Amino acid sequence: MTEFQIALKRIEFSQNIVALIAFTILLVSVVFLADRPPINERTDFSVTYIGSRTVYLGQGSKLYDLAEQQRLKRLLLPDAEPLIYEHPPFEALFLAPLGALPYKTAYLVWGLINVAIWLLLPYLLRPYAPTPRDDLGYLFLWLLFTPLGAALFAGQSSLFLLLLYSITFIQLRSGRDFRAGAILGLALFKFQFVIPLAFIFLLQRKWRFMKGFMATAAALGGLSLVAVGGHGIVSYIHLLVGIAAHPDNASYGSAIGMATIQGFMQPLLGGVLGHLAVSWIVAGVSIFLILWTAWRWRNAGLAADRRTFDLLFAAAIVVSLVTGFHMFTYDLSPLMLAMLLVAGHFPGRRNHTLLRLFLGTTLVLFWFPPLYFALLARHCVYLWFPVLMAFMIGTFKLVEIPAEGMPGTNLADPAVRVAGIPYNGR
């Protein structure tokens, strides 16, 4: 390496360090600026705090008593939005230490934890996301994806969900199925997304994966029982039924604010067919997408090559999100992994113009922040659903393109043919 090349490397390294420091300062600043009333009380973290506070006070059996939730909220957070705590009991148990803190401090601590996760994710996934090649451009993509920022501001756990999806992906790619399943099980605090993904692997008879998943699920179930008792578990089930039966209730989360199958079907057909008929349609479409994804993956062969695995995992992420019955903008965070995987195997210029345009358009839309704010302002977030479907279909089509036609793929490389050998991506 010449002196000139060494100098260029040093300049690039310095630029990356400066960019990372600036990125960190920006994220930390957002947390500190948002951590003042009434702003911090009007975030989703307010209900997380109420849940953790209830368990901390030893009142776990009343965790899903809505009257008790509102009483505690009026006492501690008078400016909070009329939302309810509907997360699983074990989450409140894990976050009980936050409930021991004053609200302002708890929001700050949770925000800084989310910042740490956000900063870890680009480093963790870079070996599997070679596009863009420029590190500054890669870091900028992480800043552009609006759901991540929404999760940080709202004090949501979606960044942690993305982290667990990412580790699950890495473990599966390395052939550690049991560990991958156990890690995905930890994401059951967002069970509405995790269970469809687990079903896709179940239908492929990934038994070691499912053993790990069920082991974690059983442990979390035991912790939930410890946190709220039998009465609390029954109350939670009743609450979930109530949420499913009232898709237009703003306190539960209005369906039109969700980029799911239900979120799309409810405003489209709800007024014509009624809630029950729409529910059956949603269930049917959800089952079809899960079965179709599992069939496509099983047909391709789970360990066929690294490219096939990456793309099918990306498609499975989309299916896990849209089949969830309860989702908001920040819950799209796992989509970041799917987008990076598809971008890393983007079709070449030759003979794939239409597919490049199709997939490229969806990626640009996902990485275009003003669009999120426009859809939120017009109360039509459900319009993300057809974009997600287009992205999923384009990803499945990309799998069908012969690997020889893809940039950066060498069939002579044994790592291409064996999913158990991790790809360094550089």
Rg (CA), the chain: 22
Backbone angles phi, psi at 190, to 5 degrees: -120, 60
What are the Cα distances from residue 426, in Å, to 53, 129, 237? Answer: 46, 9, 48
Distance of alpha carbon 376 from alpha carbon 384, whole angstroms:
11
**Which burial class, exposed, middle or buried, applies to 377 when counting CB atoms under 10 A from its CB (0-12, 13-18, 19+)?**
exposed
pLDDT, position 283: 92
pLDDT, position 327: 87
Sign, CA torsion 130/134/135/141: negative
Note the pLDDT of residue 350.
73
Residues 361-400 pLDDT 10s: 999 999 999 999 999 988 889 999 999 999 999 999 999 8
Distance from C-alpha of 254 to C-alpha of 337, rounded to nearest angstrom: 26
74 neighbors 246 (Cβ within 8 angstroms): no
Least confident of 106-110, 249-253, 289-293, 338-342: 249-253
Instruction: Give the model's pLDDT for residue 117.
Output: 97
Could you identify the residue written with the tokens 């002579």?
A: 412
Average pLDDT over residues 180-192: 96
The DSSP secondary-structure symbol of 41 reads G
pLDDT for 423: 35
pTM of the model: 0.90
Q: How many helices (H) and strands (E) does the chain have?
A: 20, 0
CB-CB contact of 158 with 331 (8 Å): yes
Q: What is the pLDDT of residues 226-239, one digit of tens each?
A: 999 998 999 999 88
SS3 track for 55-108: HHCCCHHHCCCHHHHHHHHHHHCCCCCCCCCCCCHHHHHHCHHHHCCCHHHHHH
Q: Which percentage of the chain shows pLDDT scores above 70?
A: 87
pLDDT of 255 over the 90 cut = no
Over residues 39-66, mean pLDDT: 93
Give the per-residue pLDDT at 326: 81
Q: Of the ranges 61-65, 202-206, 241-245, which one carries the lowest mean pLDDT score?
A: 241-245
Query: Between vectors from CA 376 to CA 373 and to CA 382, what angle results, nearest 5°?
Result: 125
Two structure tokens written together for 193? 């997304």
As given in the structure block, the two tokens for residue 67 are 């009257």
Domain locations in the chain?
156-421
CB 300 within 8 A of CB 284: no
Give which of 66, 55, 47, 65 is closest to 107, Cα–Cα.
47
Contact call for residues 335 and 317 (beta carbons, < 8 A): yes
What pLDDT is recorded for position 13? 57
Residue 249 — very low, low, confident or very high, per pLDDT cuts 50/70/90? low
Confidence of residue 416 (pLDDT cuts 50, 70, 90): very low
Q: What pLDDT does 222 receive?
A: 96
Quote the pLDDT of residue 155. 95
How would you write 170-229 as a 3-class SS string?
Answer: HHHHCCCHHHHHHHHHHHHHHHHHHHHHHHHHHHCCCHHHHHHHHHHHHHHHHHHHHHHH
Provide the Cα torsion 197, 259, 399, 182; round to 10°. -20
pLDDT confidence band for 142 (50 / 70 / 90): very high
Give the lowest-confidence range in 92-101, 375-384, 413-422. Answer: 413-422
Report the distance separating Cα 353 and Cα 291, nearest Å: 30
**Is residue 80 pLDDT above 90, yes or no?**
no
